[in-house]
Amino acid sequence: MFSSELIGHLHPLIVHLPIGILIFAYIMMVLQSIQKSDMESAIHLAFLLGAISSIFACVAGWLLAQSGDYETDAIFKHQWTGISTAIFSMLACFLKKYRWILATLNIILLTITGHLGGNLTHGEDYLFSSQSKTPTTTDSTTIASFENNDTTQKNNQTLVRRSFVYRDKVVPILKTKCYNCHSASKKKGGLRLDTETFIKKGGKNGQILLPGNPSKSTLFTHLILPEDDDKHMPPKGKTQLTKSEISAIHFWIKKGASFAEEIETITNESNVTPIPNLAIPNSKITSEEITNIPVSENETDKNTEVKLLSQNTEAASPEILEKLKQQNIGIAHLGDGSNYLSANFVNVRNYQPSLLDNLENITNQLVRLRLSNQPINDEAVKKIANFKNLTRLNLENTRISDVSLEYLKALPKLQQLNLYGTNITDKGLAVLTKYPNLKVIYLWQTKVSKSGIEQLKKSLPSLQIETGEFQFAKPDTNRNIR
């Protein structure tokens, strides 16, 4: 079903049609002039098609603009240069006498429109962004710099530590990875990240920053969600933050999310505590820097699933797949030519227990299942335990309890389990030791305790446990201050 929102999202695809067609029409005019050949019919048709596709692009662009995610003035300019392009294309099609003038003006308008569209999509400095980007991952210096103060008192040297984490570390990351969608020209979700005021304000879904608490700041927690999670930022397909960049965001928030330069006067060098080095060369982590940095998956996590996908299985009935799609269940094949499937309930608006019953028809093919934010309870999980080929299961923000973990231990291939925002307790964690292939588990905002997690780590030392908190190693206070 086509909706206005879907048509709006097609604008970036549709807009390339008139660009190519109208440039081709102009090239044919030039060739006709040089070669003295008759291309009038082809030129007429090209301008007609260019004008029609321009109109479609304008309609889709207008619908996209209604989302409110773009800056009004920038949209206004892009919109009217686009409409002018469609008008001049139509005039060039039918007014043969003035075609050269109209076509030339049309190419100029097309260039301006395309540039303004690029500003909206990639930011106003996208043409020269490579010259203005500040390196954030190759610098191996520490965040804080230490300078000798001119004033000394007898034998004691006064040191001044200056650190401006927001300006020197956070802003370059936001600029290169976030401004494209969250700045003055484009504010997805009503969120801007280009000034202190807007960062503190948050977006349509509320505040994103809780100083001193990264685990409750979505500016951080959305960075370390699994990449296929709808809330993961940046979205899948965009350039992702490196581990050192994520750790810098975490450090800044944990330290209080200050937007100002911090100056500390130190008179006793032996009491200086260095700030951890957050710029990790080659994205490698050492024991003196940051440990336990979350990642969505690693190569060892894939072994069971890869082995499963290498085996043949019969294809699910097209009629069954179509029925599931009609119920707004997202069905996708895991690779070209593969009969194995993933099922996603993210678009299901009125969940009914019977929807899980329908998945029984693809029991052998179902490998990944996502039930995030649905009213799933323990009784529903009892059904899920019958899907023996599941390797990944997302149950975040559902109504399950520890009972569900008893049921899920029957899944022999389960590797990744997301329990974020559920009522799981330490009692449930004890059951995880009976899971034969579990590699990664997400426990943010659950009812488990630190002692429960520590016990789970002892029982399953190879299990990757994500709690939304980074662990910072104690700095070496014996290092010389330079």
Model confidence pLDDT, tens digit, residues 175-228:
888 887 887 767 788 888 888 888 988 888 888 999 988 888 989 988 888 777
E-only strand ranges, 78-182: 145-148, 159-163
Query: Average pLDDT of 263-281?
Result: 45
The structure tokens listed for 384 are 């899920």
State phi, psi for 441 to the nearest 5 degrees.
-135, 140
Query: Average pLDDT of 351-361?
Result: 89
What is the per-residue pLDDT for 154?
Answer: 41
Tens-place pLDDT, residues 6-19: 676 777 778 888 88
Residue 166 or residue 135, greater confidence:
166
CB 326 within 8 A of CB 348: no
CA distance to 81, 87, 118, 132, 373, per residue, from 75 (Å):
10, 18, 11, 25, 34
Q: How far is it, in rounded angstroms, from Cα 264 to Cα 75?
A: 45
Does pLDDT of 477 surpass 60? no
Q: Which listed CATH number (2.40.30.60, 3.30.70.3270, 3.80.10.10, 3.30.360.10) goes with 299-448?
A: 3.80.10.10
Q: How far is it, in rounded angstroms, from Cα 457 to Cα 471?
A: 14
pLDDT above 90 covers a percentage of the chain that reads 29
Query: Average pLDDT of 306-324?
Result: 88
CA distance to 192, 202, 251, per residue, from 208 (Å):
11, 5, 16
Which of 184-198, 274-288, 327-341, 407-421 is the most confident on average? 407-421
Longest CA–CA span in the chain (Å) reads 94
Q: Where are the domains of the chain?
A: 4-122, 145-290, 299-448
What is the per-residue pLDDT for 294?
Answer: 42
Average pLDDT value for the chain: 78
What is the per-residue pLDDT for 404?
Answer: 94
196 exposed, middle or buried (CB, 10 Å; 0-12, 13-18, 19+)? exposed
